[in-house]
A and B are shown apart, each in its own frame.
Chain A
Amino acid sequence: MPHRLGPMQVLPSPVRRFADHETVDYCVVGVGSAGGVLVQRLARAGFRVVGLEAGPFWDTEKDWVSDEKGSHELYWNDLRITGGTHPLALGANNSGKGVGGGSVHWAAFAPRFHPSDFRIYSEDGVGADWPMSYWDLKPYYELLEREIPVAGPVWFPWGDPHGHPYGPHPLGGVGDVLVRGCTKLGLRSVAGGPVAILSASHGDRPHCIYRGFCLQGCKVGAKASTLITHVPDAITHGADIRAHSMAARISLRGDGRVDGVIYIDREGKEHFQRARAVIVSGYAIETPRLLLNSACPGHRHGLANSSGTLGKYLMAQAGNVVAGRFDELIRLYKAPPAHALTEEFYETDPRRGFARGFAVQTVGPLPVAFAKQMAVAMGAWGWGMRRVMMDYNHWATLGVLGEILPWEDNRVELAEEKDQHGLPVAKVTFNLHDNDKKLIEFGRNKVMEIMWAAGAKQVVQESRYAHLVGAARMGSDPSTSVVDKFGRTHDVPNLFICDGSILPTQGSANPGLTIQALAARTADYLIRQGDTIFYSSRRDQEEPGIRYDLSPPYTHFKGNPRIA
């Protein structure tokens, strides 16, 4: 049986395997949103690349189901400890395990960050500035929007206004509510995107079928994940992607350079993959955990942690869900959960009394998720739960996506407990600060207002958090950041970090597209630097210049002409 990646796409074979004693050029830890793009780019450029992935290599037809409970294995379910004044729910909420990582079960909203997100310290005096600007990343946004590709409106009016290569999707009942509510209040909204879901077939990936199971892994292959967008091309070009390989430590040589990764395979056996450079792409919890677990003489507080900021400045976005009950039927389970939004409140407005802002987006919880929300939002239990769920088809749900600022005390550390491999697990601490609380309060009330304006008869809300970024932030000052603007650690010249954890701030946009754009840019940098990465410590901080010839197939000559 061929290994399937959707109804038409098949994993290319054979898959290259490097022998245990071989030294590769790059060892990428974590083949998720960033890792998938990195592995693909580097393999295409002719490097010898190994991608270590802790989870399985999904066969979408065999392993995934069109069912909420049956999709439990998509998430990082190993133990983590969560605490602080506002502890984050982890697991299904913000993690992935398996090739494709979290992009397997993201809702696929793919907005860009605004230009202001890159300089909130200069503009608003809060958080931190990025060591780069929006304009450095813009060409990568445009390229990735074609590669994934992103469907959306022809004109997206916020931030740096732009169009999308694939046409918008039809609205479902929840999108109708968002558009109706916003229009009533005189707010602009966009419909049918921007989402990384196909609104037309794309090579051997079919058009979306509007089944609403985005968060359970898209069996259709319409929703982009690096598993189907970049990994097949990486394998065609000779990348070795090893599933069920849990990185335990990064090995540091006496000369202060890393020389490989120690990982544990499915049977619990330890291996050492030698590499001339290592890139960690384990996302905001596993990345700091791996580096903290790799502490060694000379790096007593964790590898590449001379600044003491590794694990700190962790961010999640406010993700309050506002549910409204309507007299008419909505059937919120149809259409992708992500399909309409407004960013009218994205930027700082001094009149509101807090810095930064939020977006309002559609969400589409399936019955189990919705029942859990109702248990919190309405305190429903017993007969009350049965009753409110009988009205499931009358509810619509909108989400706040609010920017929470980076704070030093929001962090990832090592806990006492060990996981099944004997590695200390991560302990995540999260606290809300004054600005965050004001922002959430305002955002929640605004979304409730939109819900009322759309005609809801009852409106309730649940506080929750979405996405995870930060914890190994980039910056130009080695004493306050972990990596430079290309993801290279300040402390170790051939150790890189490239994933959501390097974001200094997070905006109110879903981070997926930005993470992939950053990965493509880092890859271009590595390719341009060539072999010097492997022996030199010289830091070239010049922009590499974008490479258009390293995209996966079907990228060019596809999609609507861009008007902006």
Chain B
Amino acid sequence: MSRRSFPCRATGGELRDLEQPGYYPGYSTLAQKKSWEEATRKTVTERVEKTAPIRFFSQEEAALLGAVVDRVMPQDDRAEDRTIPVLSVIDERLYKNSLNGFRYEDMPPDQEAYRLAIRAIDEMAQSRFKESFTDLTVHRQELILKSLHDGKPEPDNAVWHRMPLHRFWALLMEDCATAYYSHPWAWDEIGFGGPAYPRGYMRLENGLPEPWEKDEQRYEWNEPIDSLSQLEDSH
């Protein structure tokens, strides 16, 4: 999967390959794993060390959804070997049919929803830009995804009449967020304390860091200036 497709302009210089983005340089939750108990240590280290093979999606589906995920949860600022696997986590969930306990009455099962959406996104790319979604420039990929995010698919596709778009978008976002923010490297990025048992916290107030946490060191971080996925009010 090609990721590094952005012109990568960010305020204060280029988007660099970072070991660790975020405002907590040098902070590592994994470095604390000695103070976690056995069961948690096993769960979290396996998450870092093992990436599940793609078993549910076909190769083409995986390529397309991979390109989607790269824009929905972009990691262009992360060094190649510090990329957090997202696609394989989604694939594993669908392969194992690990449900979240419910399905909206107007939605097909999750597996079918993803297959339908992948088809729809590719058709949208073909009809709007005469190219496969995976071959589009990042900007064009974002144009299509932004239209899905906004709930106004451009161009429209029959799939979105069978399946409510906002529900699929929510499903995709939940899956991506779960994969990314359950990874210890993401915890380092956002300054989350990570697992905490048997050792808990002692500095509860005023945002004080625990002895093993780092204090925040803010600098001006900006997403690529020409990205369509920035927050409306962020500039």
Q: Which residues of A contact B (CB under 8 A)?
A: 7, 61-70, 72, 75-83, 87, 89-92, 95, 170-173, 176, 208-213, 219-220, 328-331, 333-335, 366-368, 370-372, 375-376, 378-390, 392-393, 427-428, 458
Contact = CB atoms under 8 A, between A and B. Distances in A.
Contacts of A83: 104-106
Contact of B223 (A212, A370, A386): A386
16 contacts: A61-B37, A67-B182, A67-B195, A83-B106, A368-B181, A371-B177, A371-B180, A372-B174, A372-B177, A382-B71, A382-B228, A385-B72, A387-B231, A389-B189, A392-B190, A393-B192
Contacts of A62: 39
B221 A67 contact: no
Interface in B194-218: 195-208, 216
A385 B69 CA distance: 13
B99 interface: yes
B11 to A, nearest CB: 12
A89 B201 CA distance: 31
B204 A171 contact: yes
A389 B231 CA distance: 12
Contact of B98 (A72, A378, A392): A72
B52 interface: no
Interface of B: 21-23, 36-40, 43-44, 47, 71-74, 98-106, 142, 145, 149, 170, 173-174, 177-178, 180-182, 186-187, 189-193, 195-208, 216, 221-224, 227-234
Nearest to B46: A70
B127 to A, nearest CB: 23
Contacts of B228: 382
B208 to A, nearest CB: 8
Contacts of B223: 382-384, 386-387
A367 B232 CA distance: 22
A422 B84 CA distance: 38
B149 A87 contact: no
Nearest to B172: A381
A386 B222 CA distance: 10
Contact of A173 (B43, B74, B105, B207): B207
A65 B174 CA distance: 21
A219 B37 CA distance: 10
Contact of A382 (B40, B101, B142): B142
Contacts of A380: 231
B44 A79 contact: no
Contacts of A458: 233
Contact of A220 (B40, B197, B231): B197
A197 B227 CA distance: 46
A392 B24 CA distance: 12
Contacts of A387: 221-223, 230-231, 234
B204 A382 contact: no
Contacts of B145: 381-382
Nearest to A68: B182
Contact of A211 (B192, B200, B222, B234): B200
B102 A81 contact: yes
B103 A79 contact: yes
Nearest to B71: A382
Contacts of A334: 193, 201, 203-204
B164 to A, nearest CB: 11
Nearest to B182: A69
Contacts of B73: 382, 385-386
B44 A67 contact: yes
Contacts of A172: 204-205
Contact of B101 (A78, A219, A371, A383): A78
Contacts of A331: 191, 193, 207-208
> Which of B23, B170, B216, B233 has the most C-beta atoms of chain A within 10 angstroms of its own C-beta?
B216
A458 B234 CA distance: 11
Contact of B181 (A328, A371, A382): A371
B190 A77 contact: no
A82 B177 contact: no
A66 B37 contact: yes
Contacts of B181: 367-368, 370-371, 389
Given A170-B204, A384-B229, 4 more contacts: A211-B201, A328-B206, A333-B193, A382-B223
Given A328-B207, A384-B231, A80 B186 contact: no
A75 B23 CA distance: 34
Contacts of B173: 372, 375, 381, 385
A69 B178 contact: yes
Contacts of A381: 72, 145, 149, 173, 229
A382 to B, nearest CB: 2
Nearest to B198: A7
A382 B139 CA distance: 13
Contacts of B106: 83
Residue among B72, B197, B221 with most chain A CB within 10 A: B197
A110 to B, nearest CB: 20
Given A68-B182, A82-B104, A384 B230 contact: yes
Contact of B227 (A176, A209, A335, A382): A382
B192 A64 contact: no
Contacts of B197: 66, 209, 211, 213, 219-220
Nearest to A171: B205
A378 B43 contact: no
A67 B192 CA distance: 12
Most chain-A Cβ atoms within 10 A of its Cβ — which of B173, B203, B208?
B173
A367 B234 CA distance: 20
Contacts of B192: 333, 366-367, 392-393
B86 to A, nearest CB: 12
Contacts of B229: 381-385
B205 A367 contact: no
Contacts of A89: 102
B40 A393 contact: no
